[in-house]
Amino acid sequence: MKTTKTKRIFVISLITVSILLVATVFLLPWLLRDKIIERARLELNSKLDAEVNFSDVDVSLFRNFPYATIRFENFYIAGKNEFVKDTLLFSKNIDLSINIKSLFSDTGYDIRKLEFNQSKVVVRVLDGGRANWKIMKKDSAQMADSSDMNFHWKLEAFSINNADIYYHYDKNGMDYIFKNVNHTTTGDLTADSSMLVTRTTCDSLSFIWDGASYVKNAQVSFDADIDANLNDMLFKFSKNNSKFNALPFSFSGWLQSIPEGWDMDFLLNTDEVDFKSLLSVIPAMYSTSFDELKTDGEVDIKGFVRGKYANDFYPAFDLSVKASKAWFQYPSLPSRLENINVDARISNPGRTLDETLIDIPLFSFTLGGNPFKASLSLTNPVSDPDVKLHANGKLNTSYISKIYPLEPPTSIQGIVDLGLNIAGKKSWFSANKYDKFKFDGFMNMADLAIRTAFLPQKVEISKAALKFENRYAEVNNLQMKYGDNDMSIQGKFENYIGYLLYDSELKAVLSAKSKNLNVNDFMSENKDVKPSSKGAEKDTTVLKTILIPENIDISMNASVDNLKFADMTLTGSNSALKIKNKTLTIQDLNTSGFGGTMKLSGLYNSNDAINPTMQIKVNLAEVAFKQIFNQVEVLRKYLPIFEKAMGKFSAGLSISALMGEGMSPVLQSINGDGMLSAGSISVGKMIAVEAILKALKKNEIFPVNIDKIGMTFDLKNGKLITKPFSVKLWDTKLTLSGITGTDKTMDYNGKIQLPDKLKLGRFSTFNLSIGGPFSKPIVKVDLMNTVNEIVKENVQKAEDAIVEKVDEVKQAALEKARKEKEKAIAAARIQADKIINLAASQGEILITQAKKQGDKLVEEASNPITKALARKAADRLVEEAQKRANDLNQKAAKEAEQLINNAASKTTF
């Protein structure tokens, strides 16, 4: 019994302990989580002069058992001061594997493994040498908290998974881009000495220097065993194996950290390199059926890097590449590029990059039986490039497709004959020392045809002769086609080398001729063909904004037999063009178009790349309404009333505007003025005219013929302000003026004059207003305004007569008062009575005359409509006469009272 009881107690105790252990395993991470978060933030921010943060922390005892794992989610390090907008590091998560024992220790956490997942690193060095990775605080050792939660690095493994790394060296214009980098390092990283095993791959490596791409999307791998002395920061490379695309190599040597940089000594080993692997360095060769490529030839590659790299001081380096008697061929193609010989070297004695020498004494090959040979030497590439280049050979480009698999639609054929000799320094051009620089040669082309995916249409050069010398490049009889566009150019370019090297001003005087030129083909940004609502294909070409290059001064006389721009078609165009200061000036363009002729002068200014501007003066003579409205969208927006007109007109226009997408003017920015005149034109059925006829209760038949029209207008902020103009619609005269808006609305006022045959008298003219959208205009005819004008006119005449009579009586009274002072009061009373009586009688006369005028209007009216209007006018006349009579009586009473008062006070008049 006692044994059984003891076993029972033991089992219960074991179960209890197990439950407690399991509970501890699950609960411990949550108990430690907040403490770890607080401590991690404190430790990192106390040691780094940067903003360090993370979104969450996860603690697990199972992920890397028997080690605990701390995972930092969305971890980032952001710069301060001049790097405040830069994120040095971002990781989706960072895993730290920790000795579980250290979780229960009061001395801190022992970190055994560090892993970065899905990271992005942006490293930048500014012009002044300040680097964004230098974020360790100098006094971090003193600032470190010595409490019981410090992190102790005892790394045995380090890894980076799926990282993108960007290195920008602003001072020298260098950019390195590493995409999808994966790296592992194993070994004791905290021991005084350790053998580190590293494995690194990069799916895409690119190197850009001063805007030029020298390496593009290369695949790189690097595996090395490194004997690391971590006390002296000395790393010796023993066993290693690397590959650049298909080019294998290894090296031996060492790397040691020194103040402000590194000291190194490496020797390159390329024993396994053959010509095929050497070709893989060329991106175009490595990306196209490389595995099928057949090659042969002798290859020798040697190189070393030796010395210190600190600040702007570089180690010595030397890399030489030689290939002789080489060739390559794709089995699927009939020919091969042969007799390839390369002797190239890049070296630096170990100072600055400006000490670099690039020397290619030999580069040659044979294409289709024609040899080509070139050589190049370049010194002082940073401060003042000194270049020597020789190139000579005839290239039958038709053979390119026979030796290299071009992807459709790419094709090239034709002959290029080239001979160049160049020698001199870049600075000689800035100092205008053209005579010292040697540049002579030629390039002749015949039956050259090129088609690529970047060119929607084929480029053809039937013949061209270019001659080069120190200062000038002369173009003789260049004849080319782009699709259906043809052009012939002759002329001379000045300072073309300075333009290429220094971006100094390029000058040229040219003449150009073309039989067919469609400007739209050179402005197409993208072109999609989509079905319209009727099933037909619709051209949705998007025209891009033209930006004129700076530092160009070109004068050109141009003539084009058939010119197309947007929807416009012009013939027989001749003009003088000037390109300077990012502005195109068109001088005296004469052309035929729209059924008539056009003269144009203007300019297009692209100094503001976002909002270029244009200024134009144009004169149109006898152009057809139908043709110009079909081809010029702006006119359809501003003058819809003429969209269905038949006939011809002349016009003058001066405008300025901003240019928007598709090289169309921004309507709200248009300002200017102009005029339009036409003889006999025929206007089809128009909504606005129909609305006017409906308001007049007239039923007419379209089209309507207009004998003459003349109008002037202003353009202000995109609004067309039309000054008063008259047209005759059938037997009705219409006078209008107003505003047309860019939102396709109008606001016009004017008068309508009905024909005399209707015997409407004064009622034949009345006011008119047209407003609202073009598609549904609102027309208002104001008949009562005419009635009011007649009443006002007649009343004013009667009032003027009465006032004149009162003034005569008043003057007589005043004169008599002056002569007979002693009888002033009595006389004043008599005269006052006369004024009052006179006003009363004149008021009666005014009312009587009003009644007569009203009766006469009614009598003259010849139809029910005008009689009704006349009766209303007669009633209004009597009402106004009664009102005026009352006013006269009140005024006479005041006059009489004033006379008596003046006489009583013996005032001298």
**pLDDT tens across 291-325, in order?**
999 999 999 999 999 999 987 889 999 999 999 99
Print burial letters for 813-844: b (CB count within 10 Å at least 16), e (below 16): beebbeeeeeebbebbeebbeebbebbeebbe
**pLDDT over 70, % of the chain:** 78
Q: What is the mean pLDDT of residues 529-547?
A: 49
The region of weakest confidence among 148-152, 717-721, 857-861 is 148-152
604: helix, strand or coil? strand
Residue 48 is classified by DSSP as B
Distance CA 442, CA 420 (A): 6
Choice among 237-246, 353-362, 570-579, 821-830 with the minimum mean pLDDT: 821-830
Residue 290 has pLDDT above 50, yes or no: yes
> Hey, what are 672's tokens?
């200017």
Q: Mean pLDDT throughout 228-245?
A: 90
Tokens of 585: 């000036």
Question: DSSP for 309-330?
Answer: EETTB--EEEEEEEEEEEEEE-
**Residue 47: pLDDT above 90?**
no
- 280, 286 in Cβ contact below 8 A? yes
Check pLDDT > 80 for residue 535: no
Which residues make beta-bridge pairs with 379?
386
Interatomic CA distance for residues 353 and 346, integer angstroms: 11
In the predicted model, what is the mean pLDDT of residues 753-775? 74
Residue 762 to residue 792: CA distance in whole angstroms: 13
DSSP 382-442: TTS-EEEEEEEEEEEGGGHHHHS-PPTT-EEEEEEEEEEEEEEETHHHHTT-TTTSEEEEE
Q: In a 3-state reduction of DSSP, which class is residue 191?
A: coil
Which burial class, exposed, middle or buried, applies to 88 when counting CB atoms under 10 A from its CB (0-12, 13-18, 19+)? buried
Confidence of residue 537 (pLDDT cuts 50, 70, 90): very low
Instruction: Round to whole Å and give the CA distance between 98 and 102.
Output: 7
Poorest-confidence range of 128-137, 326-335, 544-553, 621-630? 128-137
pLDDT band at 751 (very low <50, low <70, confident <90, very high): confident
| Alpha helix stretches (DSSP H) within 207-287 | 275-279, 283-286
**Per-residue model confidence as pLDDT tens digits over 485-521:** 999 999 999 988 888 877 788 999 999 999 999 988 8
Taking residues 264-277, report their average pLDDT: 94
pLDDT for residue 802: 52
Residue 741 binned pLDDT confidence (cut-offs 50, 70, 90)? confident
Choice between 101 and 252, residue whose per-residue pLDDT is larger: 252
- CA 300 – CA 315 distance, rounded (Å): 23
pLDDT, tens digit, 9 for 90 and up, residues 646-675: 889 999 999 999 987 767 788 888 999 999
Indicate the average pLDDT of the chain.
81
Which of 233-247, 717-731, 796-810 bottoms out in mean pLDDT, i.e. has the lowest? Answer: 796-810
pTM, 2 dp? 0.68
Model confidence at 375, pLDDT cuts 50, 70, 90, reads very high
Residues 618-644 have pLDDT tens digits of 999 999 988 988 888 777 777 777 777
Calpha distance 496→443 (Å, rounded): 15
CB-neighbour burial class of residue 857 (10 A; exposed 0-12, middle 13-18, buried 19+): buried
Contact 414, 387 (CB under 8 A): no
pLDDT at 351 over 60: yes
* pLDDT, position 805: 54
pLDDT mean over 523-547: 49
pLDDT tens sequence across 6-41 = 545 544 444 434 333 344 444 444 445 566 666 666
> Is the pLDDT reported for residue 687 higher than 70?
yes
More confident residue, 4 or 203: 203
Residue with tokens 């008043």: 810
The whole-number average pLDDT for the span 739-760 is 79
- Per residue in 785-813, pLDDT (tens digit) is 555 555 555 555 555 555 555 556 566 66
Q: Let me know: does 571 contact 560? Beta carbons within 8 Å.
A: no
Looking at residues 92-103, what average pLDDT do you find?
Answer: 79
Residue 887: Cβ-neighbour burial (10 angstroms; 0-12, 13-18, 19+) = middle
- Position 549 scores a pLDDT of 87
Calpha distance 285→679 (Å, rounded):
70
pLDDT for res 32: 55
pLDDT band at 534 (very low <50, low <70, confident <90, very high): very low
d(CA 703, CA 501): 66
Nearest-angstrom CA–CA distance, 453 and 465 = 27
pLDDT of residue 690: 73
pLDDT of residue 20: 39
**Who wins on pLDDT, 491 or 755?**
491
Higher pLDDT: 374 or 16? It is: 374
- 101 or 675: which carries more pLDDT confidence? 675
Would you state the pLDDT for residue 65?
A: 67
208 or 340, higher pLDDT? 340
- Binning pLDDT at 50, 70 and 90, where does residue 860 land? low
Local structure of 641: helix, strand or coil: helix
Q: Are 422 and 497 within 8 A, CB to CB? A: no
Model confidence band, residue 763 (pLDDT cutoffs 50, 70, 90): low
Distance CA 368, CA 38 (A): 73
Which of 78-87, 345-354, 696-705 is predicted least confidently? 696-705
Burial string for 439-458 (b: 16+ CB within 10 Å, else e) reads: bebebbbeebbebeeeeeee
Rounded alpha-carbon distances, angstroms, from residue 631 to 135, 626, 653, 681: 64, 9, 17, 19
